[in-house]
Amino acid sequence: MPKHNIPSVPSAAIATVFVVDDDEGLRNAIEFLLETAGLSAKTFATGQSFLEYYRPEMRGCLLLDIRMPDISGLDFQEKLRAMQIRLPVILLSAHGTISLAVRAMRDGAFDFIEKPFDDEFLLKRIREAISLDIDQRVDDQKLHEARAQLVTLTAREKEVMAYVVAGKLNKQIAAELGISAKTVENHRARVMEKMGIKGLAELVHIANLLELERPGSV
């Protein structure tokens, strides 16, 4: 792989690209490429050695060879899912077929890239995978906090919240619940305060994370 002068990405500084491939030469080449691009890399010859090293708090993505002597990349991806390791996986294959690619994507792979790969394209997908991992972890934290905040709402406040995220106006919610629009406004303000939310868009996002049941949208 040729050397490229590729700028680093600030957000990637807190993440690691884990590389699992039994080909030492390719591992070294990928590690050099990643470090040249300003990305942190950690390489492994086997899936088991990766599992012994990895901890849930580690952010980043996983580059995984599809053909390895101990376990195939596809089977290892299934193992990761069973262990609830949600690190985005980019599968690498020198013998790519449509059926392999379809299975990889169906089983949750972030991407399936054939060797030899284009360096810039691989780096682009790695950065996108890292961004996805960071976003997922932010949402996981928000979900944890939202569940704790949701239990502080009264039954009426939960009703109002459900109508709000469904797109209902205060006067419509008032008619549905048989209360005044002013009362709805007060409940709505308390919902926002208790949930620690400033705007409707954020409230809708939190409701989506909570999979909050809605009475119907306008």
Read off the pLDDT of residues 32-50 as tens digits, 9 standing for 90 and up: 999 999 999 999 999 999 9
Q: Average of pLDDT values for 121-141?
A: 92
From 3.20.20.210, 3.40.50.2300, 3.30.70.20, 3.10.310.40, which CATH number describes the 10-139 domain? 3.40.50.2300
Amino acid at 198: K
β-pairing, 89-93 vs 111-114, is: parallel
Cite the residue boundaries of each domain of the chain with CATH code 3.40.50.2300: 10-139
Query: For residue 215, is the peptide bond before it cis, meaning its omega torsion is within 30 degrees of 0?
Result: no
Cite the residue boundaries of each domain of the chain with CATH code 1.10.10.10: 152-210
163 class by beta-carbon count within 10 Å (0-12 exposed, 13-18 middle, 19+ buried): buried
Q: pTM for this one?
A: 0.67
* Beta pairing partners, 151: none
Joined together, the tokens standing for residue 202 give: 């954020």
* Residue scoring higher pLDDT (105 or 99): 105
Query: For residue 69, is the peptide bond before it cis, meaning its omega torsion is within 30 degrees of 0?
Result: no
Q: Using 50, 70 and 90 to split pLDDT, how confident is the model at 167?
A: very high
1 class by beta-carbon count within 10 Å (0-12 exposed, 13-18 middle, 19+ buried): middle
